[in-house]
């Protein structure tokens, strides 16, 4: 019995000496002292919404649209038939901008500044069969073939992110409230490079 206790005590001391100092709680340097994240992480949808409100420009529109993914028109208090333009106006209002106040997706063709291609946070207006039919949503990015990834309402029963064929896009527009702000930010970035 005495021998097994001695062996156990010896093993404990050997293991304690072999463990790295940070595992035993003893710190010899402060290399790992600051383990706080650089930015606070959003822990809920409401935290994400508050973070989106702090983002200037078109990125705030995208973040606001992403906030509502998976929700139905009824859950958002919107009409339940053909509601993509209603959702886009809803997102713009929540992001602090004015929309078109129209239920027609193609009303966004006359809105803001037209862009020559997809841009994150821009509004994409897409073709659907019929003289006044269309679809509208916010650009999240593009796939490998240049097709836009769009967050939109009325894609099925919910707000969804989907890839749309680039040949169906009638136009990309930037909301008028953010055109000037984005130009200023681009000029500042260019000045920093010089």
Mean pLDDT of 79-94: 93
Which pLDDT score is estimated for 176? 79
For 10-63, the pLDDT digits (tens) are 666 665 655 555 444 555 555 444 444 444 444 444 454 454 444 456 788 999
pLDDT band at 179 (very low <50, low <70, confident <90, very high): low
115/46: higher pLDDT: 115
Per-domain boundaries in the chain:
45-187
The answer to which of 4-13, 75-84, 123-132, 170-179 has the lowest mean pLDDT is 4-13
130/123: higher pLDDT: 123
For 93-106, the pLDDT digits (tens) are 998 888 999 999 99
pTM score, two decimals? Answer: 0.65
The rounded mean pLDDT for the chain is 77
User: CA torsion, points 141, 97, 137, 109, in degrees to nearest 10?
Assistant: -110
Which pLDDT score is estimated for 35? 44
120/28: higher pLDDT: 120
Which pLDDT score is estimated for 31? 45
Q: pLDDT > 90: what percent of the chain?
A: 46
Which pLDDT score is estimated for 52? 44
Closest to 138 in 3D by CA, of 156, 119, 114: 119
143/49: higher pLDDT: 143
DSSP per position, 41-62: PP-SHHHHHHHHHTS-THHHHH
Q: pLDDT > 70: what percent of the chain?
A: 62
CA end-to-end distance (rounded Å), the chain = 78
- The fold of the 45-187 domain, in CATH, is endopeptidase fold (from Nostoc punctiforme) (3.90.1720)
DSSP 107: G
The 123-127 sheet, strands edge to edge: 113-115, 169-174, 123-127, 134-142, 148-155, 158-163
């Amino acid at each position: 019995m005495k021998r097994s206790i001695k062996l156990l005590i010896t093993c404990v001391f050997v293991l304690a000496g072999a463990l790295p100092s940070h595992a035993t709680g003893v710190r010899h340097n402060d290399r790992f002292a600051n383990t706080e994240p650089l930015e606070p992480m959003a822990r809920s949808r409401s935290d994400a919404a508050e973070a989106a409100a702090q983002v200037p420009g078109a990125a705030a529109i995208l973040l606001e649209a992403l906030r509502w993914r998976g929700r139905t028109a009824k859950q958002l208090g919107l009409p339940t038939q053909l509601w993509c333009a209603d959702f886009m106006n809803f997102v713009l209002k929540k992001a602090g901008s004015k929309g078109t106040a129209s239920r027609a997706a193609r009303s966004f063709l006359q809105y803001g500044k037209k862009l020559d291609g997809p841009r994150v946070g821009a509004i994409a207006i897409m073709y659907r069969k019929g003289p006044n039919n269309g679809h509208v949503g916010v650009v999240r990015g593009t796939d490998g073939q240049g097709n836009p990834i769009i967050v939109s309402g009325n894609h099925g029963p919910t707000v969804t992110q989907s890839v749309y064929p680039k040949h169906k896009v009638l136009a990309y527009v930037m909301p008028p409230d953010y055109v000037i702000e984005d130009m200023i930010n681009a000029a500042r970035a260019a000045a920093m490079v010089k």
